[in-house]
Amino acid sequence: MLDTLTDWCSSWKLSVNPEKTKVVHFRPQSFNLTSFQFKCSSNDIFITDSYKYLGIWLDDHLTFDKTTKELSKSASRALGAVFAKFISSGGMSYKVFTKLYNSMVEPVLMYGSVIWGTKSYTVINTVQNKACKYFLSVGKSTSNISTRGDMGWLSCLSKQRISCIRLLCKLTRIDQNRKIFKVWRWASRRKKGWNYEVNKTVNLFNVNDEVGNVTLNTKYVMKTVTEKINLLDNDEWYNELFNDRGHQNGNKLRTYRQFKQERNTELYVAMLIPRQHKRVMALFRAGSLPLAIETGRYARPPIPVHNRLCVLCTNNCVETEKHFLLNCSLYDDLRWLLFSECSNYIENFAILDDDQKLVEMMNCPEIQAFLSKSIFNFFMRRKLFLV
C-alpha cells in the first residue's frame, strides 16, 4: 500500500512529509511491537504509540487512556474559565453555575464518550468532582460522595452510559444500506469491543426490549433508559456512602449518612445564601469541618476517636458534628436562637433526642438559611476561642 502511495505521489509530483507521517501498530497488549521498517518513497516512517483523529487519541492498544487524559486537561481549562467568572461576579446561583458547566465544560469533558465511555475513568470523574467543590467552596479533602450527593449530579459513568446507549439505539434504527450500519454489524461479531460492552450495560438496566424494538423512536427509548440509569446511579451512590472499607480511622461520612440517603440537590445548595455560609454548611455536613473528630485523624500518630475531646467546654465529650451543633456550651446563646427557629417549623422539636433533632434540622426546608448562618456563627466563635 505504501508502494502504491509512492507511485501515485511520483505521478502527480507530490511528496509525503515524513515529519507528519507515522505508523501506529494497533495490537493487544500481549503482542510485541512490530520491528518492520516502513518506508514511503525513500523516507523512513517511524512508529508512534498514538494518533489523534477528529479530536480522539487512538493509542496502540485502543485503551483511550490518552484520550480521556487530554480531554480532562481541556475540560479543566474550561472549568477554570467558568470559575474565574464565578469569582469575578462574586458568586452565582446553582442554576446558573450548572448551566455554565453543562454548556462549557461537560461537552469538552464528554467529547467522543459514545466511543470511549464504556468504563469509568478517574481523570474524567476528577473534573466533575472539582466543579462540585468549586461551587461549594470546599477543599480537595472533602468527600466526593457528599459534594456530588448535595449537588445532585449524575456520575460521569452514568452520563457516558447514556451516550453509548443512545448511539446503539441510532445504529439499530439506521438505514441498513448505509456503510456505518455495515461496519457496526461487522464489528458486532467480535466477542469483545464496544458493542459487547454497551450490550452488557443494556442488560444491566434491563432495557433490551426497548433498545431492540425498532418501532420505538430513540427519544422515547432514551427517556426510559435515563430514568433507569438515574435509579441505578442513586443506588451506587448510596452503596458507596455506606462503604466503610479502607477507613481505618473511621468513615468521616458517619454523620452525613444519618440524614442523607438520596442523591438530590439540597436546598442550601440551591438557595441564594452567602458563599461562606454555604461553604461551612457543606463542610459540616461532609464531616470535613476542622473539629477534633476530624483533625484527630490526621495527627501523627492518629488520635483514637474516643480521645478527640472538645477543649471548649467541660462536658468531656468527643467533639463530633452532633456535639458541636447540639451540646457544646460555648454556643448556648446562639443555639437558643437556632432552637427557637426550629421549634416554629419542626413539630415537638424540644422533646426529640439528639439524633432526631439532627435529622429533622438537616431536612427541614424552612430553616436551611438560618441553620447555615448559625453553623457559620458557631464556627467563627470557635476559631476566636482557639486562637
Q: How far apart are CA 219 and CA 226, in angstroms?
A: 10
Closest C-alpha among 314, 324, 316 to residue 377: 324
Phi, psi of 24 (to 5 degrees): -110, 125
pLDDT of residue 247: 57
Judge whether 175 lies within some domain.
yes
The answer to the question of residue 149 being in a domain is no
Instruction: Please check whether residues 176 and 280 belong to one and the same domain.
Output: no
Looking at the fold, whether 216 and 299 belong to one and the same domain comes out as no
DSSP string covering 275-312? HHHHHHHHHHHHT-S--HHHHGGGSSSPPPGGG-B-SS
Query: 273 and 369, same structural domain?
Result: yes
Report the 10 Å Cβ neighbour count for 165: 27
Confirm whether 95 is domain-assigned: no
Cα separation, 104 vs 361, in Å, equals 36
pLDDT above 90 (res 4) = yes
Tally of domains within the chain: 3
Tens digit of each residue's pLDDT (9 = 90 or more) over 347-377: 999 999 999 999 999 999 999 999 999 999 9
Task: Examine residue 180 and state whether it is found in any structural domain, yes or no.
Answer: yes
List, for residues 50-107, the tens digit of each pLDDT value: 999 999 999 999 889 999 999 999 999 999 999 999 999 888 999 999 999 999 999 9
232 and 284: one domain?
A: no
Q: How far apart are CA 346 and CA 252, in angstroms?
A: 27
Q: What is the mean pLDDT of the chain?
A: 92
Q: Are residues 215 and 305 in the same domain?
A: no
pLDDT given at position 297:
86
User: Would you say residue 35 lies in a domain?
Assistant: yes
**319 near 292, Cβ under 8 Å?**
yes
Residues 298 and 349 occupy one common structural domain: yes
Contact 109, 71 (CB under 8 A): yes
The pLDDT tens digits for 180-227 are 999 999 888 877 889 999 999 999 888 888 888 888 888 999 999 999
Whole-number Å distance between alpha carbons of 352 and 158 = 39
**How far is Cα 223 from Cα 211, in angstroms, rounded to an integer?**
11
Answer yes or no: do 183 and 278 share one domain.
no
* Residues contacting residue 184 through CB under 8 Å, at least 6 positions apart: 171, 195
232 and 293 both lie in a single domain: no
pLDDT, one tens digit per residue, over 110-135 is 999 999 999 999 999 999 999 999 99
Residue span of the structural domain in which 237 resides: 160-241
- Same domain for 234 and 272? no
pTM given for the model:
0.89
Q: Are residues 365 and 274 in the same domain?
A: yes
Model confidence at 387: pLDDT above 80: no
Note the pLDDT of residue 315.
Answer: 87
- Indicate the residue type of 279: R
Q: Within a domain: residue 380?
A: yes
User: Is residue 256, in this structure, part of any structural domain at all?
Assistant: no
CA–CA gap between residue 344 and residue 134 (Å, rounded): 34
For residue 224, is it within any domain? Answer: yes
pLDDT for the residue numbered 250? 55
Give the pLDDT confidence of 18-54 residue by residue, as tens digits: 888 999 999 988 999 999 999 888 888 999 999 999 9
> What pLDDT digit, counting tens, does each position of 329-351 carry?
999 999 999 999 999 999 999 99
Q: Is 248 a residue whose pLDDT tops 80?
A: no
321: pLDDT confidence band, cut at 50, 70 and 90?
very high
Confidence at residue 189, expressed as pLDDT on a 0 to 100 scale: 84
Residue 382: is its pLDDT beyond 90?
A: yes
CB 342, CB 361: distance < 8 Å: yes
Beta strands in the chain (DSSP E): 23-24, 38-40, 43-45, 47-48, 50-53, 56-59
